[in-house]
């Protein structure tokens, strides 16, 4: 809210300033027009175009200064509007001043279409002849006034003025000669007295000037060194405190990194364990289709046996057809037997079809349960490997029980089929035993695979724990190395600052000594000159000392700026290195 109000206020003030400059420029323009029309203040009228241009340029610089006055490079977005408002004022006033200056110059050169020309163009020949005669008469009178025979004419007055000038020049020349002789005598006396006084002053100055200048320079150097020591002492104290705070921050940052690393290690460990478990489950789940393939082979054998039974039934039907003519009772009995066998076969087919359907449904259900179990295992990795093992074991036991139940039902169905099909009981019993044996083998393999999976998960978890411990130690070692490098960099910066200060102090002492030698030589050379020359030399000495001190302080300020920039660059490099270490730790 405050930046918006400030921008609104700045915009309104910018508009007011623009209006003020515009009113001033227009006032100058119209005043110039009025004076030109009234034939007054011709010098001001000729200066009006320059004044308009100057006012426009003044408004330009005023707008630029106004735009840059509150400009803050740290807040570019809020400062750019103020700068644009100032630039609007600048360009508007400049454009207005130049435009009015051009218009005024154009009007001034055309003289506003002077009315006298219109009057002349409308004059008659008689009026023109009268004007010419009047001009000739005025010219004759002017000639008589200039070169007439009387003394009142201009030529007579010039002759009188020339004779008076000659007389005055002769008198002035005689008076100037007398004054020059008197001035020469006075200057000679003054020079003798001044030489005596300067000789005395030179003797006094030669005795005391050197000691006083040395004492003054010693005092100045002592004060400068004291202030320099106080200033740099405070700066080094602040730098030392900042370094201590930075070390403390590094320690806190290291602790936070260790905590983050531990949490990250736990998360990565759980994810890796989950990944290994899922991979193992996926590998062992591949054995389920193989077992089902074996079960399919058993079913195919059963179907083949059923086909053989149908073929035998067909043979029985042929025997029935042959025995119909001889033994009707046998035919009836055979028909009944065939019906029973057909019903049993149909029931067995329905049962096997239902068994296959239930087997497929159970396989799909088991796959869905396995997927749901995997999703639940991924979402609840924090419960640990033991819970996963229990879930897998219970699932395998349930599957084993289901397969045992299916084998039992298959055995019962085989028994019923055996009762119905006495001729094929041996084949069916053998098939059911094989199928039951395959199912038991599959359950045993699944249990063994589950146990191996759990053992592998535990071993992989231990391996990941060891790996993350090693990564933790490497990260701590890298952090320690970064901290040692930062401390070494700070020590180098301190040594560099100390060397710069000593170098600047030595240069200042040498420059002061050179200045002192120059002062002594200048003083010896200027002893024979006037008192005014000595004062000028002393002023030059003071100015030279001020310039040298200013240059030394400027050199010191530049050196401190370079040191600060070097420290900032080193700190930025250190920050990038620490960020790189943190990124490496996060990547690991």
DSSP string, 483-551: HHHHHHHHHHHHHHHHHHHHHHHHHHHHHHHHHHHHHHHHHHHTTTS-HHHHHHHHHHHHHHHHHHHHH
Say yes or no to pLDDT of 108 above 70.
yes
In a domain, 254, yes or no: no
- Radius of gyration of the chain measured on its C-alpha atoms: 60
| pTM for this predicted structure | 0.24
User: pLDDT band at residue 4, thresholds of 50, 70 and 90?
Assistant: very low
**Section 173-177 average pLDDT:** 85
Residue 127 within a domain: no
| Residues sharing a CB contact under 8 Å with residue 33, sequence separation 6 or more, in sequence order | 104, 107
Average pLDDT over residues 280-288: 62
Only one residue has tokens 């998960």, namely 457
First to last CA, the chain: 47
The HSE-up count of residue 453 (CA atoms within 13 Å, CB side) is 28
Q: Which of 50-59, 73-82, 152-161, 458-467 has the highest mean pLDDT?
A: 50-59
CA distances from 375 to 264, 285, 372, 452 (A): 22, 15, 5, 21
Residue 171 lies in a domain: no
In a domain, 241, yes or no: no
98, burial (CB in 10 Å: exposed 0-12, middle 13-18, buried 19+):
middle
Tokens coding 82: 């103020």
Range among 171-180, 374-383, 529-538 with highest mean pLDDT value: 171-180
Q: Which domain holds residue 387?
A: 267-466
Predicted confidence (pLDDT) per residue in 444-486, tens digit: 665 566 566 556 655 655 665 566 456 556 655 755 665 565 5
Q: What is the mean pLDDT of residues 43-62?
A: 88
Q: Is the dihedral of CA 353, 356, 362, 367 positive or negative?
A: negative
| Separation CA 40–CA 141 (nearest Å) | 30
Model confidence at 117, in pLDDT bands (50, 70, 90)? very low
**Section 69-77 average pLDDT:** 74
Q: What is the pLDDT of residue 24?
A: 92
Report the pLDDT value the prediction gives residue 7, as an integer from 0 to 100. 47
* Structure token pair of residue 115: 């009315």
Residue 378 forms part of a structural domain: yes
Most confident segment among 119-128, 211-220, 228-237, 277-286: 211-220
Number of domains forming the structure of the chain: 2
Mean pLDDT score, 516-529: 58
Domain boundary pick from 435, 466, 497: 466
C-beta separation of 534 from 526 below 8 A: yes
Whether residue 234 is predicted with pLDDT greater than 80 in this model: the reply is: no
* Residue that is last in its domain, among 466, 499, 522: 466
Neighbours of 313 (CB within 10 A): 18
How far is residue 17 from each of residues 27, 265, 365, measured CA to CA in Å?
A: 15, 66, 85
In a domain, 400, yes or no: yes
Span of 290-294, 296-300, 384-388 with lowest mean pLDDT: 384-388
Alpha-carbon span 111 to 535, nearest angstrom? 60
- pLDDT for residue 176 is more than 70: yes
pLDDT, one tens digit per residue, over 543-564 is: 765 676 567 556 656 765 676 5
Q: What is the mean pLDDT of the chain?
A: 68
Give the per-residue pLDDT at 27: 93
Token pair listed for 145 = 């006034």
Asked which of 120, 146, 175 is the last residue of a domain, the reply is: 120
Residue 186 falls within a domain, yes or no?
Answer: no
DSSP label at residue 1: -
The pLDDT, as a whole number, for residue 163 is 82
Does 346 reside within a domain?
yes
Indicate the DSSP class of residue 122: T
**Distant-in-sequence, close-in-space partners of 273: CB < 8 Å, separation ≥ 6:** 381, 385, 457, 460, 461, 464
Q: How many C-beta atoms surround the C-beta of residue 465 within 10 A?
A: 14
- Give yes or no for residue 111 having a pLDDT over 80: no
Q: For residue 487, what are its two tokens?
A: 């401390």
Residue 160 has pLDDT above 50, yes or no: yes
What the block records as the tokens of 508 is 């200042």
Question: Who wins on pLDDT, 287 or 179?
Answer: 179
- So what's the pLDDT on residue 23? 92
């Amino acid at each position: 809210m405050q930046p918006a109000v400030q921008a609104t206020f700045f915009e309104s003030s910018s508009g007011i300033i623009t209006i003020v400059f515009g009113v001033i420029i227009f006032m100058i323009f119209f005043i110039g027009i009025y004076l030109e029309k009234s034939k007054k203040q011709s010098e001001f009228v000729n200066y009006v175009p320059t004044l308009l241009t100057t006012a426009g340029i003044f408004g330009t610089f005023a707008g630029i200064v106004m735009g840059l006055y509150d400009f803050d490079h740290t807040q570019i977005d809020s400062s750019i509007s103020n700068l644009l408002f100032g630039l609007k004022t600048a360009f508007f006033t400049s454009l207005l001043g130049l435009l009015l200056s051009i218009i005024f110059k154009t009007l001034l050169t055309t003289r506003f279409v002077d009315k006298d020309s219109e009057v002349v163009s409308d004059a008659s020949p008689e009026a023109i002849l009268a004007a010419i005669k009047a001009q000739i008469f005025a010219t004759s009178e002017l000639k008589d006034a200039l070169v007439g025979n009387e003394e009142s004419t201009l030529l007579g007055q010039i002759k009188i003025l020339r004779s008076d000038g000659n007389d005055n020049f002769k008198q002035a020349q005689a008076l100037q000669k007398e004054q020059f002789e008197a001035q020469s005598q006075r200057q000679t006396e003054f020079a003798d007295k001044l030489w005596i006084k300067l000789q005395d002053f030179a003797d006094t100055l030669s005795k005391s000037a050197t000691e006083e200048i040395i004492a003054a320079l010693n005092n100045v150097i002592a004060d400068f060194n004291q202030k320099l020591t106080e200033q740099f002492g405070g700066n080094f104290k602040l730098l030392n405190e900042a370094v201590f705070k930075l070390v403390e921050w590094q320690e806190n940052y290291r602790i936070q990194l260790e905590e983050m690393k531990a949490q990250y290690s736990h998360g990565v460990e759980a994810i890796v364990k989950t990944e290994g478990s899922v991979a193992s489950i996926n590998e062992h789940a591949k054995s389920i289709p193989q077992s089902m393939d074996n079960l399919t082979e058993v079913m195919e054998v059963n179907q083949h046996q059923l086909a053989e039974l149908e073929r035998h039934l067909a043979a029985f039907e042929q025997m029935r057809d042959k025995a119909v003519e001889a033994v009707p009772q046998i035919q009836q009995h055979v028909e009944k037997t065939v019906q029973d066998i057909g019903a049993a076969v149909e029931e067995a087919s329905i049962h096997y079809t239902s068994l296959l359907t239930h087997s497929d449904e159970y396989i799909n259900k088991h796959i869905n349960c396995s997927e749901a179990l995997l999703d639940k295992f991924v979402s609840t990795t924090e419960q640990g490997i033991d819970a996963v093992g229990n879930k897998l074991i219970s699932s395998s036991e349930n599957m084993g029980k289901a397969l045992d139940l299916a084998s039992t039902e298959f055995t019962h169905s085989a028994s019923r089929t055996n009762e119905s099909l006495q001729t094929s009981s041996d084949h069916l019993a053998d098939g059911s035993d094989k199928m039951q044996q395959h199912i038991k083998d599959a359950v045993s393999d699944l249990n063994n695979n589950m146990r191996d999976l759990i053992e592998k998960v535990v071993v992989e978890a231990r391996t990941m724990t060891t790996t993350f411990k090693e990564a933790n130690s490497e990260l701590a070692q890298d952090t320690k190395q970064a901290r040692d490098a930062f401390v070494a960099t700070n020590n180098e910066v301190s040594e560099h600052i100390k060397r710069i200060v000593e170098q600047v102090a030595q240069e200042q002492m040498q420059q002061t000594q050179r200045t002192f030698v120059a002062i002594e030589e200048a003083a010896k050379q200027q002893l024979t000159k006037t008192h005014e020359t000595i004062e000028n030399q002393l002023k030059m000495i003071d100015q030279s000392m001020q310039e040298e001190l200013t240059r030394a302080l400027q050199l010191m300020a530049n050196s401190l700026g370079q040191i600060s920039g070097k420290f900032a660059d080193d700190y930025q490099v250190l920050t990038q290195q620490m960020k790189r270490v943190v990124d490496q730790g996060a990547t690991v």
